[in-house]
Amino acid sequence: MIGCSLFTLSLLSLVLLVLPVQSQVQEFPWARPISRVGWTASTNSFQTGFEASRALDNNFTSHWLSANSPTVDPVLTIDLQRLHVVTGFSHLPRPGLTQTAVITKHVLHVSEDGSLWTLVAQGFYLSDTTLKYSFFTPIPARYVRLTALGEMSGNPAVSVAEIQVYTPVPAVNVTDFRPVPPSQGRWGPTIQLPIVPAAASLTVDHVVVFWSAYRTDEFPGGTGGTFTATYDLSSRDIQSFEVTNIRHDMFCPGTSIDEQGRVIVTGGNDAPRTSVYNPATGGWTSLSNMNRGRGYQSSATIGDGRIFVIGGSWSGENGNKHGEIYNVTANTWARLDGCDVARIQTDDPRGPYSSDNHAWLFPWRRNLIFNAGPSTRMTWFNVTGRGSWREGGMRGTDTDSMSGTAALYDAEQGLILTTGGCTRYSSAPSTRNAHVIQLGIENQVPSVTRIPDMSHARTYHNSVILPNGNVVIIGGQFFARSFQDSNSSMPCELFDHIARRWTVVAPLSIPRNYHSVALLLPDARVISAGGGLCGRGCIWNHPDAQIWTPPYLLTSSGGEAARPRIVSVSGTALRPGATIRITTDVAARFSLIRYGATTHTVNTDQRRVVLRTTASGLTYTATLPADAGILIPGPWMLFALNEAGVPSIATTIRIVLG
């Protein structure tokens, strides 16, 4: 959004490439470097004159270089000489303009004693020569071990010029260190990604597909290309590729999952384009262009399977971004000028460019769409004919809440949780505000209840609905500043939807702010990723992800809770109103959560439906909601929850219209 800030960051990145290595050791708001006095380094592989000690000699012009052997994975081990609480590791590739010997695929372990090792990060570093970072959940360690599994150009030798290890801010002594209790959940090892993910979707083959922009770490472009990475939840395999065949730079578009489970992406840097990711082929193809170029708009799949979009003046014409709708079957777009974009605009002083972004859209009964924000003025949109709108009232006494979040945690009851945001797109204080909106009769003004504030003010955060109806809030800043990690709200929070109260849960070890994403996974965990996309070498880039295990999956001692199991389901392609029979291995209750796709805090796909069942032993019968405006067509995760509230691994069902 802020070109001058991005230009400054690009200059900073260029300067960093030529400064002495001592100047390249970065301080972060959440982590600081540990003094390296007395450290030693060892390795299983080196070339004479390029020993492991050269990664600790404070000399930018020297480096460790592994042997040129294709049969040995080079390992670099650092001995910190005593225990520290560590939360990060960085290394600088060897100097010069060469692109060889740069580590890409890797694993990172730490140890207290040098014999028992704990995995803290794995995956791929960005394929360039900038400083490489791995941040992870704080843990006591004396030893840090980097294992190189791949190199940028495919050669066997790898190199490191200098390394650094980080400890948390505020400082924690080893003697005072206490792991986060199981009641707060647990963040897993860091998953390093070959891109900075600014958007993401869960696919029906249990893969998370991430995408960024025309480059892996920067968004200006509109050059007809986008970098994509996929993370297979079963194999943990990471793949990446540049998408150029569709001529679509998909930076910060609208995202929606259609009836078939395909990811439909609209606009972004190449403003009018529409593309689709098909899990069946693992690739992107082009669809018809929109009538208006858009970027930072919102889109939503409605009850009849069409996809509605509105707003998005970041790309294309500034203003007049009224609604339009996509017919998936016919591959055609129709204008809905009666769905007036002015209804969603905030009072941002920069006008439509910043005020018609990221609408909180909720498809509802009979193809109506409710817009809950971020403007304080709420609206019902009707997509019949040329489109129209009706008043939806004000969101209580809330302020404009740009880059806040909204989550439909009980779709049949029409219960929406809204959180945070701020009055301007950037450079303004965030709020702790939280409200519950209850939709009632279509086209009528819903009720709005102010509930207790969050513990932390947030903008640019993410909300994820859990199978039990609670909502986890991840990341954000208490003072919104695009492309920065200052003011980060590191503790996460959990909304109890029954008691309507907040609990602070396990904190982040990596800030998740502007351009971060989060999604519910089929194993009832949550993946959180990204942040930044601010240029080569920008220290606020976060090309990584972590998976949060919620408290319901942990015992009081920190072990894995016993899960219920879905034994069988009577059908996996069902119409609204159909009867479904589910057999489990223990007594259970059930919920459906739609697959999610997200960018810029917006995930219009996610919503939860509670199934009301009758039981015959361990076989349960339920009638699905009959209105497709509630049970939106497309893929859903079916969860069974036992009497203790522990969810099963989900079974995927697809709601179909034909």
Q: What distance in Å separates the CA atoms of residue 103 and residue 45, rounded to the nearest whole number?
A: 14
CB burial readout 470-505, b (16+ within 10 A) else e: bbbbbbbbbbbbbbbbebbbbbbbbbebeeeebbeb
Active site residue 552: no
Q: How many C-beta neighbours within 10 Å does residue 275 have?
A: 24
Three-state DSSP class for residue 452: coil
Burial, 15: exposed, middle or buried (Cβ in 10 Å; 0-12, 13-18, 19+)? exposed
Beta bridge partners of 42: 77
* Catalytic position from the list 166, 425, 514, 595: 514
Burial, 398: exposed, middle or buried (Cβ in 10 Å; 0-12, 13-18, 19+)? buried
Three-state DSSP class for residue 15: helix
Q: What share of the chain is helix, strand, coil (3-state, %, to 5)?
A: 5, 40, 50
Tokens 């489109």, located at residue? 387
Helix (H) or strand (E) holding 614, with range, is strand 613-616
CA dihedral 523, 517, 397, 468 (to 10 degrees): 0
Three-state DSSP class for residue 353: helix
Tokens 């055609």, located at residue? 332
Q: Provide the CB-side half-sphere exposure for 179 (13 A, CA).
A: 11
Using the Cα atoms of residue 625, residue 630, residue 635 and residue 638 in order, give the sign of their dihedral.
negative
User: For residue 648, which phi and psi values (nearest 5 degrees)?
Assistant: -75, 175
Q: What angle do CA 633, 233, 519 make, to 5 degrees?
A: 50
Q: What distance in Å separates the CA atoms of residue 327 and residue 308, rounded to the nearest whole number?
A: 9
Q: What distance in Å separates the CA atoms of residue 166 and residue 532, rounded to the nearest whole number?
A: 20
Q: How many C-beta neighbours within 10 Å does residue 221 have?
A: 16
Using the Cα atoms of residue 204, residue 210, residue 213 and residue 219 in order, give the sign of their dihedral.
positive
Using the Cα atoms of residue 279, residue 262, residue 523 and residue 104 in order, give the sign of their dihedral.
positive
Task: Sheet with 597-599: list strands edge to edge.
Answer: 238-243, 226-232, 207-211, 199-202, 597-599
Tokens of 96: 């010069």
CA dihedral 453, 455, 460, 465 (to 10 degrees): -80
List, by residue number, the catalytic residues.
514
